[in-house]
Amino acid sequence: MNNQVMLESTGKNEYELFFGPAHPGSGNFSVKLEVDGEIVTSARANPGYLHRGFEKLMEYRLPIQNAVLSDRICILEPLNWNLIHAEAVDELMGIDVPERAKYIRVIMAELSRIQSHIIWFGVFSIGTGFDTGFKMAFGYRDYILDLFEMITGGRVYPTGYICPGGVRRDLPKDASEKILKVLDKIDEMVKLEEIENPVLQARARGIGVLKLEDAMRLGATGPLLRASGMKVDVRKEEPYEVYDRLDFEVPVRKEGDAYARYMIGIEEIKQSMKIIKQALREIPQGEYINPQFKKPKLNVKMPKGEVYVRNEGGRGEAAIYMVSDGNTKPYRVKIRGPSFLHMISVLEFLLKGVQIADVPAIYWSMNICPADLDR
């Protein structure tokens, strides 16, 4: 029964509306909205369109093959997921990672965070009807993709560049200057983002307010929790790699609305640029990978045990829990994607009582990725 017929027969304004999976602004994800006129009365997340079963696939592959697989957990920030997987294997096997490799890992993870945040800005812009922002963001993101192409050999997928033991290739000789040049470009982009846009403010201020107690109750992490007023960052609390030696700040905002989240994204890009500049200054010479792992090996047994490694991904707290029973392949891998809680509990909570036109604005202000939700 189509809506018009239903309205006539029942005299009610209530009907169901699907946001996604074919909606241009939804990604591979769907939300079932129940609307009364223009107001959303309840929202139900409907995930599963991008499920690829990484947890099971990883049980059948060697750690070095899993490093290649780990890119695809989140398409928009592959190097961050590479890093988490590599750290989990390093900790489980007790591998010493050379100093230079640690710095390269941090530089690459931060570059990946910047490009992920630029996409966030792009999709948030298109979600609020600001098409120029989307094109601008994807144009500037390509400068970082050029760097990835030069360093890892692939534009979007580094295919396990950060691997157990270190990184698979050393930085090219002129990498430092090229990275600094690209950071200048990103600086330009951040300045453009910061221009106060009255239309964007009207669309984003006071929309989708997530109070701190709700954020904590629903399990929000990362930029979402920081935009609601809690100073929390795994890089500061449990420093991994060389983050304890680097000086950076954790941006916090109190408002908790879509605009606050958007501003947190911009400030985080600035902090990431600060981290990369410091790391490039301090990076030592030496090995880029543990000599034992320079050539990929087939028969390296992982000692018995289990490990839980958490990192600050671009979207929030990302983690891997890995169990080994003494074989070459992991016995069980559990992936904690930050978007899982953001896209189900937080999104359902935020969409209640808003107007239909605000749904994309709220949806994309949360920096979510259907890929790491479904895994």
Partner 1 sequence: MGWRIIPKLFQNLLSKPMTVKFPHESIPIPDGYRGEHAYEIEKCISCGLCAKICPNRAIEMIEATTRENKEKYQKQYPKIDLGKCCFCGLCQDICPKDALKLTKNFFLSTFNKSTTIKYPFKTEDGAK
Q: Which residues bind partner 1 (CB under 8 A)?
A: 61-62, 64-65, 68-69, 139, 142, 146, 149-150, 153-154, 157, 159-160, 168-169, 172, 192, 195-196, 198, 295-296, 298
Least gap, CB of 133 to partner 1 (angstroms): 13
Least gap, CB of 329 to partner 1 (angstroms): 12
Least gap, CB of 64 to partner 1 (angstroms): 7
Q: Single out the residue of 81, 76, 60 nearest to residue 144, CA to CA.
A: 76
Least gap, CB of 360 to partner 1 (angstroms): 24
* HEC per residue, 361-373: HHHHHCCCCHHHH
Is 27 or 63 the residue whose CB approaches partner 1 more closely?
63
Give the separation between CA 56 and CA 61, rounded to whole angstroms: 10
Q: At what angle do helices 99-127 and 131-152 cross, to 10 degrees?
A: 160
Strand partners, 35: 15, 40
Is 68 or 333 the residue whose CB approaches partner 1 more closely?
68
Give the separation between CA 337 and CA 240, rounded to whole angstroms: 18
Least gap, CB of 149 to partner 1 (angstroms): 6
- DSSP label at 95? P
Least gap, CB of 37 to partner 1 (angstroms): 34
Is 68 or 362 the residue whose CB approaches partner 1 more closely?
68
| Pair 316, 268: CB distance under 8 Å | no
Q: Single out the residue of 124, 296, 123, 311 nearest to residue 204, CA to CA.
A: 124
Is 159 or 221 the residue whose CB approaches partner 1 more closely?
159
Is 162 or 341 the residue whose CB approaches partner 1 more closely?
162
Break the chain down into helix, strand, coil percent, rounded to 5. 50, 15, 35
